Amino acid sequence: MNETTQQPGSGGVRRGVGLGIAMNLIYFGFWIGFYYFGLDRYWLTTGTGEFGVFFWSLFFIGATQALYIGPAVLYYRWKQRPGVVKGLIIAAAVTVLLNGACWAVMKS
């Protein structure tokens, strides 16, 4: 038998990036579902014309990501999977950078 030895955490970065992308897609799918079913009127603005949860969660995607990427990072760190942790952090950083670039384009 030909056994190959792998370094601890190898291949885990791809798994972490994939998991981070999947979590982002689920998050955005959640909000698209809210919009599709008409529930956004309760979340987009409040009755007094202020911005609601939907607006602020998209505006501050970096802080919102901490709510669902953070526990995943802690879980995989506890499981001693440093590759997956690195991948999750990479996916979160790319999302924040893309969001910042989109806001910069919209502001210019």
pLDDT in tens, 5-28: 556 545 689 999 999 999 989 988
Residues in CB range of 76: below 8 A, 6 or more apart: 16, 84, 85, 88
Q: What is the mean pLDDT of residues 35-39?
A: 69
Q: Which two tokens stand for residue 12?
A: 């885990």
pLDDT digits (tens, 9 = 90+) for 61-92: 777 888 889 999 999 999 999 999 999 999 99
Q: Is the pLDDT of residue 55 over 80?
A: no
pLDDT band at 108 (very low <50, low <70, confident <90, very high): confident
Instruction: Report how far residue 80's alpha carbon sits from residue 77's, in angstroms, rounded to the nearest whole number.
Output: 5
pLDDT confidence of residue 5: 52
pLDDT confidence of residue 103: 78
Q: Where are the domains of the chain?
A: 14-107
